Amino acid sequence: MSIKANLYHIKSELPPHVTLVAVSKTKPVSDLMEVYNAGQRIFGENKIQEMVDKYEQMPKDIEWHMIGHVQRNKVKYMAPFVRLIHGVDNFKLLEEINKEAIKNNRVIDCLFQIKIASEDSKFGMEPHEASNIIQSKAFSELKNIKIVGVMGMATFTEDLNQIKNEFTLLKTTFDGFKTMESFNFKPEIISMGMSGDYKLAIDCGSTMIRVGSSIFGERNYN
């Protein structure tokens, strides 16, 4: 199937409350334009430099989501335009995003990345680490960021039951956070589900899926 047909197929199956992020990392602008011309306006990238390059070349009504691990020293390059940063997993990073948001006179929306996979992943916070941040005075002083939800990645496994348990953990964590709302903490988004598991993720409460290879085809890293 063509890229466009893949997109239409996936979109036709999504419930209305679920947002599709088209994960375009490693793919050329011509491929992105194909889904843009089919109506897609939300794109996800996992490297800041690549996202900046594509932002400069593409129409300006696109919402750019940073879905990868973020290095603090690179936040400044995306701060003028990034729409949502999915992978915030420590307070220092949040402070840096806030600082760059001030320079750009804007508020930047972020998600807390929560560690849900049992495999040893370097990224993501434990739920209690996130709630400690949310309840701290230092967090309440960050006026130019807003945490609008959570993001998680399940273990890379064939075991659907395990994936389901991990997605359910993220949903439960989100529900717990709902009671801690404040001016810069308004959890509304649960970003979970990729090409291989997005249907299961939606069944478990996802409101935002990040789909790459099922739209653009397999990635070639050579």
Ligand X SMILES: *Cc1c(COP(=O)(O)O)cnc(C)c1O
Q: How far is the CB of 191 from ligand X (least distance, A)?
A: 8
- Site track for ligand X across 47-86, x = CB under 6 A: --------------------xx------------------
**Rule CB under 6 A: is residue 211 a binding residue for ligand X?**
yes
**Rule CB under 6 A: is residue 206 a binding residue for ligand X?**
no
- Member of 194, 201, 202, 208 binding ligand X (CB under 6 A): 194
Query: Quick one: 103 or 219, whose CB is closer to ligand X?
Result: 219
**Rule CB under 6 A: is residue 115 a binding residue for ligand X?**
no
Query: Quick one: 68 or 187, whose CB is closer to ligand X?
Result: 68
Task: Show the 3-state SS of the chain.
Answer: CCHHHHHHHHHHHCCCCCEEEEECCCCCHHHHHHHHHCCCCEEEECCHHHHHHHHHHCCCCCEEEECCCCCHHHHHHHCCCCCEEEEECCHHHHHHHHHHHHHCCCCEEEEEEECCCCCCCCCCECHHHHHHHHCCHHHHCCCCEEEEEEECCCCCCCCHHHHHHHHHHHHHHHHHHHHHCECCEEEEEEECCCCCCHHHHHHCCCCEEEECHHHHCCCCCC
**Rule CB under 6 A: is residue 20 a binding residue for ligand X?**
no
- Member of 7, 23, 52, 97 binding ligand X (CB under 6 A): 23
Query: Quick one: 165 or 195, whose CB is closer to ligand X?
Result: 195
- Member of 6, 24, 46, 206 binding ligand X (CB under 6 A): 46
Residues that bind ligand X (CB under 6 A): 23, 25, 46, 67-68, 153, 194-196, 210-214
